A and B are shown apart, each in its own frame.
Chain A
Amino acid sequence: MKILVCVKQVVDSESVIAIAPSGSWIAEEGLVFRMNRFDEYAVEESLVIRDTFPGSVVTALSVGPARVESTVRRAIEMGADRGVRVPLGEGGYASPMAVASLAAAHARDEGYDLILCGAMAEDDMHAQVGPLLAEMLGIPSASSAIALKTADDASAVRVEREIEGGSREILELSLPALVAVQPGINRPRYPSLSNVLRAKGQPVPEEPHAADESANGIERLARLRLPERSSRCEMLEGSSAEKAEKLLALLAAKSLI
């Protein structure tokens, strides 16, 4: 099988973030760039499927500025066979429509049987690129996949989608198809030493494509801002011991303890 896995580079948003003076993105100085966590599950799933179908090839693709090459390389370190980067912008906000159209430009003539993506990106949280890419390529797709099984003859995938209330919707997609996976579908592996060494010497070619922005309108990020602290939240002050006493007093006053 020919498998494409789409990976995005994001800043480690578990760190404390601040808005850049321009107001158009977060201040990235001093922050660490890494692979979007959701995409790590997509990479792992691609490797699991490759191992079931000998002769399969996994390609990792990222769309973005030169620095995203390190995230493609990370996918190779995890075990992807090859990587490719389609250039877009200098960082900051990128419209999912533009990203998907560039990914589609790469994928259109490659003849991938299966395309895997993370369910969403940690930074913009759009959850759009996967479903957009599938539609641009004219292949069926499913998002929020929490279980995936490829038919023995590689003609279809059986997908369990997470839906509201803890239930799952099950469907089968004929290949080629695109699946956007949820965290929890597997346990992403750590790179093995041999793959780390292999990734070191492996080029990540740059493959320029023209974004097709004519067909669909592109939205614009007017500004990024920090939310105002809700006025209803009473932040307890004082020493740890004082906070503990205040909290217990508050709970007791509401007859909660």
Chain B
Amino acid sequence: MEPIVIAAELDNGTAHPASLEAVCFARALSRLAPGPLVIIAAGRDVRMAADGLAAATGIDVIAVENEHMAEYTGETWKKTLAASIAPLAPRFVVIPHSARGYDFAPGLAVRLGAGCVTAIEALSEREGVLEFTRLAFGGKALMDIVPPRGRSVLTVQPGAFPAEAPAPAAPGTVTLTRSTAAPERSRPLGRTASGPETASLNEAEVIVAAGRGIGKKENLELIRALAALFPRSALAGSRAVCDAGWLEYARQVGVTGKTVSPRLYIACGISGTAQHLAGMKNSQTIVAINTDAGAPIFNVAHVGVVEDLTRFIPLLIETRGKAVKG
């Protein structure tokens, strides 16, 4: 049987949580398309992370030590992984859909002569045919994709397959190999730290977030006024609002911004792209206000209000004012 290979993402000598989610997906996949699971852990100083993965999952791990993998370049990742994975002749290669994963996965597929399906959120079998489900059209629609008959590289949306808790009885075996693949046409130059103001979003109990649907920058004042109804509240925005320059990037919630889980998240005029939802869907209570009843934000919201927020928010504030006075 052709194996299912999981290419783990490592960070500072430990496995990134998304790697365990990829394992969880691979287990579900192996129930529909049987094949032994193998984890590839490639990086610099990988031994500890490889042992950790073998212990946490009970799956055999091939650790690939490469001194050129201290810093990320797609080139080195593709070279190292292609050389380690090709001899295993897998049916599927599973990779977290992280900033690294979606950077190198398509190129790795080309190197392996494989197909590629990205950002998978669910899997199923229909009349004996395996299908992967992923979002399309900004989350307004779902695609059911049938992978090619041959080899496929798959990336798994973080958060879609929560890692399982129980530890296996026996750890997998770890095989240590080496790679000398080095970047020739790319050079890593380090990393910048995340911006300031992370704390204010992380500490807020209530986050009121604005999306493109607020219409214009001036309407942020409405969002501010709504936030002012709540103690320990903070203002945030979607990617589109930050791109438009209406809010600073430090206030962006989503995959490329902050991940938050306040007691209350009020999404105002946010359609709910996958990238935004990943940053806020674990909030305890989610309220969404949007004119488009079909907006995907309502798929994660607990309370939905289909209204024009330029009229609804003033009304809400006024109603609250009366209640407090009364």
Taking Cβ atoms with an 8 Å cutoff, the residues of A that contact B are 13-14, 16-17, 19, 26, 93, 96-97, 122-128, 131-132, 134-136, 139-144, 158, 160-174, 177, 182-184, 215-227, 229-230, 232-236, 240-241, 243-245, 247-248, 250-251, 254, 256-257
Contacts and interface: CB of A to CB of B under 8 A. Distances in A.
20 contacts: A19-B141, A127-B119, A131-B105, A132-B106, A135-B107, A139-B185, A141-B107, A143-B74, A163-B191, A163-B256, A167-B191, A167-B192, A169-B191, A222-B131, A227-B140, A233-B303, A235-B298, A235-B305, A245-B319, A247-B305
B116 to A, nearest CB: 6
Contacts of A143: 74, 102-103
B142 A227 contact: yes
Contact of B142 (A219, A224, A232): A224
A26 B137 contact: yes
Interface of B: 71-75, 78, 98-100, 102-107, 109-111, 113-119, 126, 129, 131, 134-152, 185-195, 198, 206, 229-230, 239-240, 242-243, 249-250, 252, 255-259, 263-264, 271, 274, 285, 287-288, 292-294, 296, 298-307, 311-312, 315-316, 319-320, 323
The binding surface of chain A is classed by DSSP as mixed
Contact of A216 (B109, B141, B192, B301): B109
A26 B256 contact: no
Given A127-B102, A215-B113, A233-B298, A222 B189 contact: no
B319 A256 contact: no
B319 A244 contact: yes
A225 B141 contact: yes
Contacts, number: 266
Contact of B135 (A19, A125, A217, A235): A125
A17 B137 contact: yes
Contacts of A248: 316, 319-320, 323
Contacts of A171: 72-73, 186-189
Nearest to B148: A217
Contact of B78 (A127, A135, A244, A254): A135
A216 B106 CA distance: 11
Nearest to A243: B305
A184 B319 contact: no
Contacts of B105: 131
A226 B135 CA distance: 10
Contacts of A173: 185-186
A238 to B, nearest CB: 10
B303 A244 contact: no
A166 B294 contact: no
A254 B117 CA distance: 41
A170 B150 CA distance: 35
A250 B302 CA distance: 11
B192 A160 contact: yes
Given A13-B137, A123-B137, A219 B117 contact: yes
Q: What 3 pairs across the A-B complex have the smallest Cβ distances? A: A217-B148, A217-B115, A135-B107
Nearest to B155: A127
Nearest to A121: B136
A166 B194 CA distance: 5
B116 A96 contact: yes
A256 B302 CA distance: 14
Among B111, B140, B258, B300, max chain A CB count under 10 A is at: B140
Nearest to B109: A216
A142 B106 CA distance: 12
B144 A222 contact: yes
A166 B250 contact: yes
Nearest to A218: B148
Contact of A135 (B106, B131, B148, B256): B106
A90 B178 CA distance: 48
Given A128-B116, A171-B186, A244-B315, 8 more contacts: A97-B109, A125-B138, A132-B106, A220-B148, A227-B141, A256-B230, A257-B229, A257-B230
Contacts of A158: 189
Given A217-B152, A225-B142, A230-B300, A170 B188 contact: yes
B118 A243 contact: no
